[in-house]
């Protein structure tokens, strides 16, 4: 019995010695990507591309903004741009996310710009996917091209109803957007946000010139900031119609 106890003690000492002398194993951090959808949409818009990125090592979050998607039951005309910015700020803070790659699509560009201004220390990179890129004091209404259909023609009771938003469509579906999210000017006050690297992805439909695209001015603004601008042959929602291509492009930004 004594010999068995001594053997076990010696074995334990040997394991301890090996463990203390071994080099610590480096754990590679998984990239964290938060994808912010555009107007009338919801987190469900990203359901095709998110699994492709997760299969390649990304941790992907696709939150839904207040009053949209599965949160449409909370919709009121009082929801403005600041509410949507706070949605994502609080999502990042309460999930305790750091070194976030923050992507905004279309209207989502307004949102991620505000998020970066408020919590720049949490953001590693900004990705604008065919998105608005505002400066201080600008609203989405100011940034829309003059040849776009007037928003007033689509507005009713404080909400924007484009032609494709219809209540008889099956779920999941796009829903009316609070008008205030388009008319609120963005307030940008934090100079630290300007130090966050950014990438702009301009989607251009086949046969069209980039200069004719609605988001070309935003891409030019990104280029003036020294950011890389990637042109992708696709329509405005590549994550839905070309999820594999969109995933590959985003993987190249790691």
- How far apart CA 2 and CA 169 sit, in angstroms, is 78
Q: Which of 128, 151, 114 is nearest to 218 (CA)?
A: 128
Considering the candidates 20, 21, 66, 106, report the single residue annotated as catalytic. 106
- Cα atoms in the 13 Å half-sphere on the side-chain side of 157: 4
150-154 long-range contacts, CB within 8 A, separation 24+: 151/179, 151/182
Q: Which of 77, 68, 73, 74 is nearest to 43 (CA)?
A: 68
Reduced to 3 states (helix: H, G, I; strand: E, B; else coil), residue 166 is coil
Q: CA–CA separation, 175 vs 166, rounded Å?
A: 8
What does the alpha-carbon distance between residue 153 and residue 156 come to, in Å, rounded to a whole number?
9
Burial class (CB in 10 A: 0-12, 13-18, 19+), 17: exposed
For the question of residue 148 being annotated catalytic, the response is no
CB 162 within 8 A of CB 154: yes
Helices (H), 22-61: 50-54
Kindly list the distances between the CA atom of residue 184 and the CA atoms of 83, 97, 249, in Å, as whole numbers in the listed order. Answer: 11, 27, 32
Report, as residue numbers or ranges, the catalytic residues: 106
């Amino acid at each position: 019995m004594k010999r068995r106890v001594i053997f076990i003690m010696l074995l334990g000492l040997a394991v301890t010695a090996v463990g203390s002398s071994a080099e610590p194993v480096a754990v590679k951090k998984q990239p964290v990507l938060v994808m912010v959808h555009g107007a009338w949409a919801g987190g469900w818009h990203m359901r095709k591309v998110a699994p492709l990125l997760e299969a390649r090592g990304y941790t992907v979050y696709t939150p839904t903004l207040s009053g949209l998607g599965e949160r449409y039951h909370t919709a009121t005309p009082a929801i403005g741009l600041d509410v949507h910015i706070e949605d994502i700020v609080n999502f990042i803070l309460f999930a305790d996310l750091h070194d976030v790659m923050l992507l905004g699509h279309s209207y989502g560009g307004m949102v991620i710009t505000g998020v970066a201004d408020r919590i720049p220390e949490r953001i590693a990179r900004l990705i604008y996917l065919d998105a608005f890129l505002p400066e201080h004091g600008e609203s989405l209404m100011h940034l829309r091209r003059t040849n776009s259909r007037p928003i007033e023609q689509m507005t009713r009771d404080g909400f924007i109803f484009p032609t494709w938003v219809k209540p008889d469509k099956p779920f999941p579906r796009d829903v009316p957007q609070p008008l205030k999210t388009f008319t609120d000017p963005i307030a940008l006050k934090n100079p630290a946000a300007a130090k966050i690297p950014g990438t702009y992805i301009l989607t251009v439909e086949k046969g069209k010139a980039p200069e004719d695209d609605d988001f070309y001015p935003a891409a030019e603004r990104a280029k003036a900031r020294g950011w890389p601008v990637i042109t992708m042959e696709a329509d405005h929602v590549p994550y839905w119609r070309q999820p594999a291509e969109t995933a590959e492009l985003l993987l190249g930004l790691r």
